[in-house]
A and B are shown apart, each in its own frame.
Chain A
Amino acid sequence: MSQLASITLMQNDDARPVIDSIIADNPGVKILTMPGAIKLDCEGKITVNRASVEERLGRPWNLQELHLVLISMAGNLDEDDDYFTLSWRH
């Protein structure tokens, strides 16, 4: 059975670079757009990479800033200074 790792973000300017970097870094990501929110799903695992967001943002970005735009998620969380990963793999 499919196991989607998932992250839902606000649809706003602060979230845009995060959304873009998730789409770029997670091949096969599925996108569900809702009013005000966007749900990104990926089979098994989905990752936000700090470096990737910084590249789009053009400034240093602390991964904990993700809290400001995060709405929901699914998967086991593994969080460090450089990445924020949700996965169903062990």
Chain B
Amino acid sequence: MSGTKKLGLRQRYEHMTRGLDWETTYQPMDKVFPYDQFEGIKIKDWSAWEDPFRLTMDAYWKFQAEKERKLYAVLDSFAQNNGQTGISDARYANVLKLFLTGVSPLEYAAHRGFAFTGRHLRGSGTRVACQMQSIDELRHVQTQIHTISHFNKYFDGLSEFPHMHDRVWYLSVPKSFFDDARTAGPFEFMIAVGFSFEYVLTNLLFVPFMSGAAYNGDMSTVTFGFSAQSDESRHMTLGIEVIKFLLEQHPDNLPIVQKWVDKWFWRGHRLLGIVAMMMDYMLPKKVMSWKEAWDIYFTEAGGALFQDLARYGLKMPKGAEIATAEAEHISHQNWCTFYQYTHAAPFHTWMPDNEHLDWLSEKYPNTFDKYYRPRWEQWAKMDKEGKRFYNGALVQLCQTCQIPMVYTEPGDPNTICFRETQHGGQRYHFCSDGCKDIFDNEPEKYIQAWMPVQQIFQGNCGGPTVPDVLNWYNLKFGVDNMDYAGSPDEALWNEWHADKVKAAS
């Protein structure tokens, strides 16, 4: 035996990662790293970076390979056992439609974005952490596609996911969110995705989503979800390290970082409205309400976090109080919107039944009975009379988050909130002060946005009529869209279960 002692995790990692880089001399450093100055962030000493999760590649390959072997074993057995027939109800599949068209493409965008920061931030420790996150994000999009691939064989609305992500009106909400982060400078990307999204908000997306999958009998999705989350906790550590590092490096960084935190918190809050409606309306068996998830993961966990970051002078994101107040409304307002526009979206909607309405009343004692239950009861009545309510008008979208103007004034749930700004002789519209502020800080960026409704009016989306546009989306009318009742998904589900009943009798 040689006398070498075993290195500790920390030292081993430093030897094997730090010190790989060097100051270039044949090419100027500023040309090798051309993008890490223009945002105004000042870094005095990259070596002060604390490596989150000190994983060397050998350990990375080993653990990730083990996770993947386990995951794919579950996916294979789910497919072999036709696990899709054992989910709680076929309505559940609509959660996956939302996920694959709206979320998975963002994982991909994150993969490429972290390749950018993994190349272009100057500190080597930071870059390695970003690169690992880059391939992790590739993992997430690919395992999501593989998991949902089996559902795609049986359920509609999944098969055109990349095409739809690029074209469908409400999918420009998640897409523009990530395009915004991707086109920002490398430090803003890190605060937007690494900190605000991964650290502050990702739990709200994944934990309830995946617990929901488990509870609704989708063992393949829960497996990919929790397996992905184990990478996510590594990413969260990167996110919190980034913000601490920037704030410790120079006091001038604080106002820049604060502005980004404000912006990305608000943008993330708007984006997650879709998760809110998924939790409150779309899971046949419910895990917790959006409001409960918000209390645990934002009010409680976010509160602890910002209390900690207060020592750097960082404040709670602007809009946090409004967002918390909106947690009582957002899922209802979103599901109401999709219910009215069910003809234009590639997933199914349905009216909550009485048991579901009672659950919502119980979970939202301050708002549901007062503002939303009467609306559902009215629509149920209309539906019964054969006058199911559709909204045929094209609505105005917020120039920043691109959500239709459906949200209400803070403190006044009976009035739609409108804000506007003049810029370059044009008027721009917003759903909230948060979105208006974001625009006002960077108008040159947001005037470029590819606004789905304007694009339809300009004739860039296949034609002037709704059928033209749906055709351009590759949306099959009467198959991918409209109510669950009467859909081919429902017919197939009933067939499976009718046969099961027969087989058992």
Contact = CB atoms under 8 A, between A and B. Distances in A.
> Do A and B belong to a common assembly?
yes
Interface of A: 1-6, 8, 10, 32, 34-37, 39, 63-65, 67-77, 79-81, 88, 90
Contacts of B236: 72-73
B138 interface: no
Interface stretch (B27-35, B49-57, B261-269): B49-57
Interface stretch (B300-308, B339-347, B376-384): B300-308
Contacts of A34: 207, 211, 287-288
Contacts of B67: 67-68
A64 B226 contact: no
B308 A67 contact: no
Interface string B198-238: 00000100110011111100000010001001101110110
Contact of A64 (B8, B55, B214): B55
Contacts of A88: 304, 307-308
Q: Which 8 A-B residue pairings sit nearest by Cβ, starting from the closest?
A: A36-B214, A35-B214, A3-B304, A35-B215, A71-B229, A34-B211, A70-B230, A74-B301
Interface of B: 8-10, 52-55, 59, 63, 66-67, 203, 206-207, 210-215, 222, 226, 229-230, 232-234, 236-237, 240, 287-288, 296, 300-301, 303-305, 307-308, 311
Contacts of A73: 233, 236-237
Contacts of A70: 229-230, 233
23 contacts: A1-B303, A1-B304, A1-B307, A3-B303, A4-B304, A8-B229, A34-B211, A35-B212, A36-B214, A36-B222, A37-B207, A39-B207, A39-B296, A67-B234, A68-B66, A71-B207, A71-B226, A71-B229, A71-B233, A76-B308, A77-B240, A80-B10, A81-B8
A3 B286 CA distance: 28
Contacts of A75: 304
Nearest to A5: B304
A3 B210 contact: no
A72 B203 contact: yes
B309 to A, nearest CB: 10
Given A2-B304, A34-B207, A81-B8, A72 B54 contact: no
A8 B232 CA distance: 12
A74 B206 CA distance: 15
A60 B215 CA distance: 34
A6 B417 CA distance: 37
Nearest to B234: A67
Interface centre among B59, B212, B214, B230 (most CB of A within 10 A): B230
A47 to B, nearest CB: 15
A57 to B, nearest CB: 16
A76 B10 CA distance: 16
Given A35-B214, A64-B55, A71 B230 contact: yes
